[in-house]
Structure formats: C-alpha cells, structure tokens
Amino acid sequence: MEFSHFGKKYEGELEFGRYQNGNLAVQLKLDDGSPYATLSVNTELALADNEFVAKTYSENEGLVEQFIDGGHFVPVSISAPVSGFVPSQPILRLSPPDEII
C-alpha cells in the first residue's frame, strides 16, 4: 500500500503483533521489510482484541490519518490518556477485524 510522509511517497504494509500485556501492536514496514514506524502505543487500558491506541504525535504526525482515510482503521474514541506530556491519543479499531493475529 502506498503512504506518504514528510513529502515523500512510500510503499509498505501493516504488521500486527502483541505487546507483553496482550494489547495490539501495529507496525508500518516498507516493502523491503524494514520498519518505518510504530503506529501504536501500549497503555494499561483494556481494549478489544482488534483495537489499539494510536501514536499520532511526534514523528508519526500525519501517518495514522492516511490509514483511517484508506479504510484500514476506524476511530473508536479520541480520549485515551497515554502519559507525561503526550496529549490524549485516539483508540482505533482494525477494519476488517480479521487482519489481526
């Protein structure tokens, strides 16, 4: 799938895993298999198996929104507290839900 970031276009794919506490981890990898960005943040929130807290700040600014627009993620909530100085982050659900491990 194509995505753009900082004015450049890339080809990549989403990869899913689990954090140690069982929450969904979402990674964006380039077509050559190299990691590009981690799109999720682990929290202590109890989430559904197909939901995750997105990382939309810092170097990820503008990435997650493309995958929402492309139909890969569906917003569930916009009020997930993370920690420290980080603003609340959106909770997203995978679409379709059978993409997860």
Domain containing residue 76: 2-99
Instruction: Count the neighbouring beta carbons within 10 Å of the beta carbon of residue 2.
Output: 9
**Interval 2-11: pLDDT, tens:** 999 999 999 9
Rounded to 5, what percent of the chain is helix, strand, coil?
Answer: 15, 45, 40
CA distance 51 to 4: 23
- What's the pLDDT tens digit per position in 44-93? 888 999 999 999 988 999 999 999 999 999 999 767 666 666 678 899 99
Flag whether pLDDT at 36 surpasses 70. yes
| Structural domain count of the chain | 1
Q: Is the peptide bond before 35 cis (omega within 30 degrees of 0)?
A: no
The model's pTM is 0.87
